[in-house]
């Protein structure tokens, strides 16, 4: 009986070891990701931020642009956080509910980061994959274009666009995205150069498969790990850029707002005893940045082939 039990345990251990060895790279990366505590913290923080942005409007008791005239007399005394009058985060210097405006600011900042990074990833991946695959003079010309564009301060260009064409949320999304694809293209190009010499790529070329099809079916799918990691690290930069522009007063227009605009307003009024106007938007701004940084670092460690 004991011998049979020992054989059964040995068989179970062998099966478990075989299953572990037979895991796909992404399954292995998933296991490694969930072992990373900071990555899990980032994932939980991001889930909280997204839940706050999605369900916050249903919790808020005041619209974003409605003024509470009951606190207009003395904002410093009557406009602080209070569950009695429904101002969970207090009111701003005009008597508007800060909770509702922080929810809206979180929504817009997340949208800028996600949409802007999506545009940058799409353009940068296509451009970099094409440059690395074709190589030669085409690669040289395309990369020199990237080098020239990188020498131009994109923040100055974005501010110039907003001044020339007016403050527009769509222009802000597209401008940040289209001016941030350059680094992505260089990373994708480098990875494409290493993939181009693989056997399956050479086999596809030998059978007459079109370059566009090879890039779409063989190059880009093998770049997903690098692209996903860089995209998560790109989102905080997008949010920081939008917040900086909004802090300068060139971002979204009223009654819309963003976390950068709210921080700017809170910083301007903090000397009047209304510190909550700065603390709450700044708190969600910091949590959002940390969540993406931790998530990006965790994905990078989990998908790094050197650690497998």
79 contact partners, CB below 8 Å, separation of at least 6: 68, 71, 87, 90, 91, 92, 95, 274
From the list 155, 114, 107, 117, the residue with the least C-alpha distance to 256 is 107
d(CA 107, CA 252): 12
- From first CA to last CA, the distance across the chain in angstroms is 40
Crossing angle (nearest 10°) for helices 182-195 and 224-247: 170
Element (H, E) at 176: helix 169-178
Residue 284 is predicted with a pLDDT of 92
What is the distance between the alpha carbons of residues 82 and 89, in angstroms, rounded to a whole number?
7
pLDDT at residue 247, as a whole number:
75
pLDDT at residue 103, as a whole number: 93
Cα angle, residue 45 at apex, residues 40 and 51 outer, rounded to 5° = 125
CA distance 122 to 119: 5
Binned average pLDDT, 10 residues per bin, the chain of 308 residues: 47 47 63 82 92 91 82 65 82 85 90 85 89 87 88 80 76 76 86 83 82 83 80 82 78 79 82 81 90 84 60
Structure token digits, residue 59 = 């919790």
pLDDT of residue 18: 47
Rg, Å, the chain Cα set: 25
Cα–Cα separations (whole angstroms), residue 135 to 10, 132, 189, 198, 297: 53, 5, 9, 15, 31
Torsion of CA 105, 110, 116, 118, to 10 degrees: -160
**How far is CA 223 from its chain centroid?**
18
Specify the pTM: 0.78
At residue 76, the pLDDT reads 59
């Amino acid at each position: 009986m004991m011998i049979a039990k020992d054989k059964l345990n040995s068989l179970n251990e062998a099966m478990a070891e075989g299953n572990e060895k037979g895991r796909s790279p992404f399954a292995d990366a998933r296991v490694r990701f969930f072992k990373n505590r900071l990555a899990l913290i980032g994932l939980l923080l991001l889930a909280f931020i997204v839940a706050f942005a999605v369900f916050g409007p249903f919790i808020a008791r005041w619209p974003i642009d409605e003024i509470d005239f009951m606190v207009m007399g003395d904002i410093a005394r009557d406009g602080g956080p209070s569950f009695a009058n429904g101002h969970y985060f207090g009111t701003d210097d005009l008597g508007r509910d800060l909770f509702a405006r922080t929810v809206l600011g979180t929504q817009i900042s997340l949208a800028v980061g996600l949409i802007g990074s999506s545009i940058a990833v799409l353009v940068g991946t296509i451009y970099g994959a094409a440059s690395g695959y074709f190589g030669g003079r085409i690669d040289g010309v395309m990369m020199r274009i990237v080098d020239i564009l990188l020498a131009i301060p994109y923040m100055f260009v974005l501010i110039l666009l907003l001044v020339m064409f007016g403050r527009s949320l769509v222009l802000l999304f597209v401008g940040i995205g289209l001016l941030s694809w350059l680094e992505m293209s260089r990373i994708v190009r480098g990875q494409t150069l290493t993939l181009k010499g693989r056997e399956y790529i050479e086999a596809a070329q030998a059978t007459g498969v079109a370059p566009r099809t090879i890039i779409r079916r063989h190059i880009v799918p093998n770049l997903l790990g690098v692209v996903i990691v860089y995209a998560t690290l790109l989102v905080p930069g997008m949010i920081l850029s939008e917040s900086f522009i909004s802090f300068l007063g060139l971002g979204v227009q009223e009654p819309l707002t963003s976390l950068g605009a709210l921080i700017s307003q809170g910083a301007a009024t903090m000397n009047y005893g209304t510190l909550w106007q700065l603390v709450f938007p700044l708190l969600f701004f910091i949590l959002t940045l940390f969540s993406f940084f931790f998530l990006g670092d965790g994905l990078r460690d989990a998908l790094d082939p050197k650690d497998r």
